[in-house]
Chain A
Amino acid sequence: MSGILEFVTHPLNAVTFFPLVGVVAILLLAREKETLIRWVALGTSLITFVISLGVLGLFNPQDPGLQLVYDRPWFTVAGWTIRYVMGVDGLSILLLLLTTLLTPIAILSTWTAIQERVKEFMIFFLLLEIGMVGVFLALDLFLFYIFWEFTLVPMYFLIGMWGGPRRMYAAIKFFLYTMAGSILMLLAIVWLGLHYGTFSVPDILAQGPVMGPVQYWLFLAFAAAFAIKVPMWPLHSWLPDAHVEAPTAGSVILAGVLLKMGTYGFLRFNMSLFPDAAKYYAPWVALLAVIGIVYGAIVSFPQRDVKKLVAYSSVSHLGFVMLGLFAFTPQGIEGAILQMINHGISTGALFLIVGMIYERRHTRDLDAFGGLWKVMPVYAVLSLITALSSMGLPGLNGFVGEFNILLGALGSRVLGSYWFAGFAALGVILAAVYMLTMYQKVFLGPLDKEENKCLQDLNWREVVTLLPLIVLMFWIGLYPKPFFALMHPAVEHLLQAVLK
């Protein structure tokens, strides 16, 4: 008993597994009590958020290493001790907070949108949160893989059961694409286990990173899993399908958190475990990232489905993150981490905004709107802020991240060329083009469609859903210092090890 108590009272375990309480509670509730189920799910995710704030309180920003480490032998098989290692550092603390923040927001957004099978929806959603939080906290490769693969299942059901008309195709495509990468990673993980005799990342790094020609293969195997998840061009084709078909809350989590699992994987595992390979491949990764930036932006432009537009813009934004990471400069990586958060906030908010109008009009076709400013002023203002944040207007959060990434890429010795940053900057301009075009088509111009004339503006619940994200957009945009302070020592620490 004391063992269990010790386990659950550790803050990282608590924040990971607290949603399980909600899952059990919802399982016990009758399926007709939909409102109660919604409240239980929301309450659970809010408490999880509070716990994650507690983790932040315990976190020491000056310490570059892993903190709050919970390290126990989990089980032993044939000479392998598989450890249960959880820990948090400057690389993951913000992503943890982003996850626990976006989950209640996403649940709140489903209040009226999800009317069917609420019970199953909330169960899958809370299970998904467990998987996502676990991915960011797990430091044992085996444990990490379990969380990583586990996120697939609830997301598959969320897309497939509550999605749009082509939801089954999108769901299975999502599952197969992601699994294709991760099973290659599984083989690489097994290889590391055979070679090091442990899966614990700190223990492996204590023995020194992987050397020799095999690291290039292992890097590629890990990269396969993460690059599909990010998604990097040309492995991105599952993303538009998944986003278009997923329900709003699914899209928010998919864009806000699941994609970050890929970039986080590069940051946490590929860079530190295979430093030489990472540097060797860096220009190629950067090349794909830049192609992704430009490609995503260009393809976004002609889209008529707003969700598809936002999905392709994600390909572009995540390209920035990858470019920043593989610049191997403090500015680049810090900008990339911040950009992960920014993208979670802005794109999450964009999907919420799309979901709100879809709930009213049941279409996402750009041509079906126009002049909404006149009937929905609150909505229009919030949308404008979000769109500006997404395209990187100075003063809002997107700018800070992209600017740092571009600076980092310019000063990067590993990349060794200005061209990457030059072409990436082109992406910033293109982002302004497609975002403003979209905004113009929806909100400006004459209010000429009959169906749009009697649209209701946002209710208090919808405003509450968006408000935390809007506040964060301004906060990061105007005063990003506390965010950088959280990650700076850890990034320096990582770069020292990698560039040594």
Chain B
Amino acid sequence: MTVPVTWQDVAALLPEFFLVVWASALLLLDVFWIREKRTTAWLSALGFVVALVLAVGQMGRAPLLAFRGMVIADAFSVFLVALFALSGLVGILLAQDYLARNGIERGEFYVLLMFSVVGMMLMARVADLVMIFLALELFSLPLYVMTGFARPRADSEEAALKYFLLGAFASGFMAFGIALVYGATSTTSLPHMVDVIQAGEADLALLTAGAALVLTGLGFKIATVPFHMWTPDVYHGAPSPVSGFMAATAKMAGFAALLRLFVLVFPVVADLTPVLWALAALSMVLGNVAAIAQRNIKRLLAYSSIAHAGYMLSAAVAFADPHLGPQAVAAILFYLVAYVLATFGAWGVVILLERRIGQEGLLLEDYAGLSRQYPGLAAAMAVFMLSFIGVPPTLGFFGKFYLFRVVLDAGFVGLALIGVLTSLVSAYYYLRVVMLMYMKPGEPIVRREPRVQATVLAAAALTLFLGLTAASSLYAWATEAILRFG
């Protein structure tokens, strides 16, 4: 019998392989030799840099199904894998000082982060239903642990337990959905499934039910209403770098699988369009309205992340249209980049202002007067808030522009109206942060942590200038990131 795995397969998953080996080695190094936990942090950051280089090296290659059709390396997945590697790097930059100063730094944190990122990367690579489930669990389980990392703080533990229980519940939906989809098409391989559906051999009722359940499972991960209940509590209870990391990357991972499944495999279940429509509309309305009432910045950002999931989902509503599918993917990827930049930046500011973990420096009032003493930091936060609102010339404006374009092109004028009107609502609470920073006197206390500060400023600069200078190349890149099988 020939060897069923070739070097080509390994090359297709090179960043993931590298990260797994690196993380395993780091796990042992950490317990056997490393004294300073900071060394572990730098080594894992180095790992992400290498993974990023490897991912960039994969660009421009022809789509490749690997490991007997379990995973695929196409432009879409490479785009996201590179983004995940970068996010992992940023995650460590944001976390290290915070963990050290709060006395909860353990080497396992960085290893867990790496394993989680591997799971997210695999979410972008899936070409088989079984892989979706595996990848989902692989990226979720470390996140549960990281959420509870501030133990024995009760809110952190509560958040971890809540996230774990509800996450397990969502996984159950996911598994059931996968089973139904398998029952409808008698295959788990996604490319094969496309053939079966095109040949008209699939049981459509069963497939629709299965797709709906898969949507439920993924909806939990990307935090859309009505699967959002955990989000504020978990983002609030988790250590801030973990919240920021989750807000940015878990959403990306969820959308990666959602787009691949719905745009590529499920256009036939167009019956679900109203469901997606409703999920998007509810998320935008509820996320934005609930955010108004928040006084804690972590909860505010949590609700805002729900709202942004709604914006992205509103473009995905057009999944059943074969012409708009690729554009929806490009628009969502573009929006994700804008969202991730602003999210990391905003959470970086939260980290710098959090005086005592989970207790002080988290209220909106604590931001009063920031612009006087830390003009750079306040300007950066203002840029993130404006990007979240979608004010030109920030990247967030271009993101919303492309999203609404797809939504209007698909003829969902109502959804587009809800989208713009809720952006208006969101302007109110985002501007309140800006207002406090610039227009109220206060004595904010900010940590001097150069790495976090540099990350925040870099994110702000990118948010501001990428829009004007590189919006088209970024969009072109996202457009080329078309989903394909073979």
Question: Which chain A residues have a beta carbon within 8 Å of chain B's beta carbons?
Answer: 74-78, 82, 117, 120, 142, 145-146, 149-150, 152-153, 156-157, 160-161, 167-168, 171-172, 175-176, 179-180, 183-184, 186-187, 190-191, 193-194
Q: B435, A172: Cβ atoms under 8 Å? A: yes
CA separation between A75 and B420, bound complex, in Å?
A: 24
B397-428 at interface with A (beta carbon < 8 Å)? 397, 401-402, 404-405, 408-409, 413, 416-417, 420-421, 423-424, 427-428
Q: A186, B427: Cβ atoms under 8 Å? A: no
For B404, list chain A residues within 8 Å (CB).
186-187, 190
CA separation between A145 and B391, bound complex, in Å?
A: 10
Which residue from chain A places its CB closest to the CB of B379 in the assembled complex? A120
Which residue from chain B places its CB closest to the CB of A76 in the assembled complex? B472
Q: A179, B327: Cβ atoms under 8 Å? A: no
Q: What does the 1/0 interface line of B370-402 toward A look like (CB < 8 Å)?
A: 011001000000000010000111000100011
Q: A183, B424: Cβ atoms under 8 Å? A: yes
User: Measured between C-beta atoms, what is the minimum distance from B369 to chain A in Å?
Assistant: 12
Known: A160-B439, A168-B439, A186-B404. A176 touches B420 (CB 8 A): no
For A75, list chain B residues within 8 Å (CB).
471-472, 475
Q: What does the 1/0 interface line of B63-103 toward A look like (CB < 8 Å)?
A: 00000000000000000000000000000000000000000
Known A-B contacts: A187-B416, A193-B405. Give 14 more (CB < 8 A): A74-B472, A77-B402, A149-B392, A149-B397, A156-B431, A160-B438, A175-B431, A176-B427, A183-B421, A186-B401, A186-B420, A187-B413, A187-B417, A194-B409
Known: A78-B327, A153-B391. A172 touches B405 (CB 8 A): no
User: Measured between C-beta atoms, what is the minimum distance from B394 to chain A in Å?
Assistant: 10
Question: Which chain B residues have a beta carbon within 8 Å of chain A's beta carbons?
Answer: 327, 330, 371-372, 375, 386, 391-393, 397, 401-402, 404-405, 408-409, 413, 416-417, 420-421, 423-424, 427-428, 431-432, 435, 438-440, 471-472, 475-476, 479
CA separation between A186 and B400, bound complex, in Å?
A: 10
Q: A172, B428: Cβ atoms under 8 Å? A: yes
Q: B423, A183: Cβ atoms under 8 Å? A: yes
Q: B431, A146: Cβ atoms under 8 Å? A: no
Which residue from chain A places its CB closest to the CB of B405 in the assembled complex? A190
Question: CB < 8 Å: which of A77, A153, A156, A193 contacts B472?
Answer: A77
Which residue from chain A places its CB closest to the CB of B475 in the assembled complex? A77
Question: CB < 8 Å: which of A77, A157, A180, A190 contacts B424?
Answer: A180
For B475, list chain A residues within 8 Å (CB).
75, 77-78
For A77, list chain B residues within 8 Å (CB).
402, 471-472, 475-476, 479
For B372, list chain A residues within 8 Å (CB).
117
A-B contact count (CB 8 A): 85
Known: A187-B417, A194-B405. A150 touches B435 (CB 8 A): no
CA separation between A161 and B378, bound complex, in Å?
A: 14
Question: CB < 8 Å: which of B413, B421, B439 contacts A171?
Answer: B439
Q: A168, B423: Cβ atoms under 8 Å? A: no
A-B interface, 6 closest residue pairs, ranked by CB to CB distance from nearest: A75-B472, A183-B420, A146-B392, A77-B475, A160-B439, A149-B392
For A193, list chain B residues within 8 Å (CB).
405
Q: A172, B391: Cβ atoms under 8 Å? A: no
Which residue from chain B places its CB closest to the CB of A156 in the assembled complex? B431
CA separation between A160 and B431, bound complex, in Å?
A: 11
User: Measured between C-beta atoms, what is the minimum distance from B211 to chain A in Å?
Assistant: 27
User: Measured between C-beta atoms, what is the minimum distance from A490 to chain B in Å?
Assistant: 28
For A157, list chain B residues within 8 Å (CB).
438
Q: B479, A168: Cβ atoms under 8 Å? A: no
Which residue from chain A places its CB closest to the CB of B404 in the assembled complex? A190
Question: CB < 8 Å: which of B393, B408, B428, B438 contacts A187?
Answer: B408
Sample of 16 A–B contacts (CB below 8 Å): A75-B471, A77-B476, A78-B327, A146-B393, A149-B397, A161-B439, A167-B439, A168-B439, A176-B424, A176-B428, A179-B423, A179-B427, A183-B420, A186-B420, A190-B405, A191-B408
CA separation between A76 and B394, bound complex, in Å?
A: 18
Q: B435, A78: Cβ atoms under 8 Å? A: no
User: Measured between C-beta atoms, what is the minimum distance from A493 to chain B in Å?
Assistant: 30
CA separation between A149 and B439, bound complex, in Å?
A: 21
Which residue from chain A places its CB closest to the CB of B473 in the assembled complex? A75
Q: B391, A149: Cβ atoms under 8 Å? A: yes
Question: CB < 8 Å: which of A146, A149, A161, A175 contacts B438?
Answer: A161
Question: CB < 8 Å: which of A161, A175, A184 contacts B427?
Answer: A175
Q: B392, A145: Cβ atoms under 8 Å? A: yes
CA separation between A160 and B433, bound complex, in Å?
A: 13
For A74, list chain B residues within 8 Å (CB).
472
Q: B391, A152: Cβ atoms under 8 Å? A: yes
User: Measured between C-beta atoms, what is the minimum distance from B397 to chain A in Å?
Assistant: 7
Known: A75-B471, A77-B475, A167-B439. A190 touches B408 (CB 8 A): yes
Q: B408, A194: Cβ atoms under 8 Å? A: yes
For B432, list chain A residues within 8 Å (CB).
172
- Most A C-beta atoms less than 10 A away, residue of B386, B391, B393, B402: B391
For A168, list chain B residues within 8 Å (CB).
435, 439-440
For A152, list chain B residues within 8 Å (CB).
391
For B479, list chain A residues within 8 Å (CB).
77-78
CA separation between A161 and B409, bound complex, in Å?
A: 41
CA separation between A146 and B396, bound complex, in Å?
A: 12
CA separation between A76 and B475, bound complex, in Å?
A: 9
User: Measured between C-beta atoms, what is the minimum distance from A166 to chain B in Å?
Assistant: 11
User: Measured between C-beta atoms, what is the minimum distance from A167 to chain B in Å?
Assistant: 7
For B424, list chain A residues within 8 Å (CB).
176, 179-180, 183
